[in-house]
Structures are given as C-alpha cells and as structure tokens.
Amino acid sequence: MQVQDRQKRVKVYGRPVEAFCCRVLQKLGKTGWALSVAFVGPKAMQAINQAYRGRNYPTDVLSFHYPGETIDGIPFLGEIIVAPTVAWAQARDAAGGGEREVRKLLVHGILHLLGYDHETDHGEMNRLQQRIVRSSVFRHSAPVAGLRNAS
C-alpha cells in the first residue's frame, strides 16, 4: 500500500490510512491485495476529473481500477484519489466532520476498485458502504486526517 499526500490544507496520517484501508479490504474478504491512495488539492482534483470524466469541477474521490496488474506479485486493485478539502467542505455540518468524510471516501473508493458501481447496481454499493460505515472497522479507526493549524 502506498499513500501520497500532494496537498497542504489537511494533514494526512499515512500509517492510519494504510491500516484503515487494509482493515476495510479484510472485512470485504480481499486480504493480500494492494492499492494506492493519493491526496490532492481541489485544483488538481478538478484537472483529473476534467481529463478522465469530462467534468470541470473538483470532486471528492476518484478511483482508477487496473485489472490484472500486480506489484511484486501482489494483485494491484488500483488507485484512489481523494480531495480532503472537498470532503471537509461537504461535511461542514455532519457528525464526525471532515475526518469521518475522508474515511467514507476511502471506503467508497475501495468499493469502486472492487467493481461496485452505485450508478448502475440498484443500491448494492450504497448498502454495502453503509454496512461498513456502521461496522467497528469504521467506528474504531484511528483518525486518518485532520486540519492543519492555521498560522
């Protein structure tokens, strides 16, 4: 698992991100699979969203599945890209705030990498995501991100 932080507004805690993603994969019966997570700013996310989806706005999460790829003999699911400042803005009034939203986006991205598609699966992905969010894997996770001190 690889975690990259390419933005400056939200502090990303790399090891907890890795541990959380591994626990979600384990809950889904996908131990022994690799993925990468990149955290980017809203401008970078907007450019990626425009380039790959033709949508000219910063979205919260994108997933890129790479079927058949391996890294050092380990099956590689793909890459999740998260814009944590977008997550924080979306979660402004929600319980748990931005940090909880970032964890939800990681779950959402993992499910997409596993082939789920909320736009076509009649709610299957959303139901599975909600089960994970209600589980101890989600509720008892160490924080994966936090706002940096304003100076």
Q: 93, 111 in Cβ contact below 8 A?
A: no
The confidence band for 148, taking pLDDT boundaries of 50, 70 and 90, is: confident
With bands split at pLDDT 50, 70 and 90, how would you rate the model's confidence at 7?
very high
Give the tokens for residue 129: 């995501």
Q: What is the pLDDT of residues 63-117, one digit of tens each?
A: 999 999 999 899 999 999 999 999 999 998 676 789 999 999 999 999 999 999 8
pLDDT at 151: 44
What is the bridge-based pairing of β-strands 145-147 and 61-65?
Answer: unpaired
Q: Please name each of the domains of the chain with its CATH number.
A: 2-140 (3.40.390.30)
Find the helix packing angle between 124-134 and 97-113, rounded to 10°.
130
Q: How far is CA 141 from the centre of its chain?
A: 14
Place of tokens 């079927």: 67
Over residues 129-151, mean pLDDT: 88
How far, CA to CA in Å, does 115 sit from each of 22, 24, 78, 112, 134? Answer: 17, 15, 11, 5, 21
pTM of the model: 0.94
E strands present in 10-130: 10-12, 34-40, 61-65, 70-71, 74-82
For residue 38, is pLDDT > 70? Answer: yes
- Stretch (H or E) spanning 145: strand 145-147
> What pLDDT does residue 50 have?
98
Mean pLDDT score, 129-133 = 96
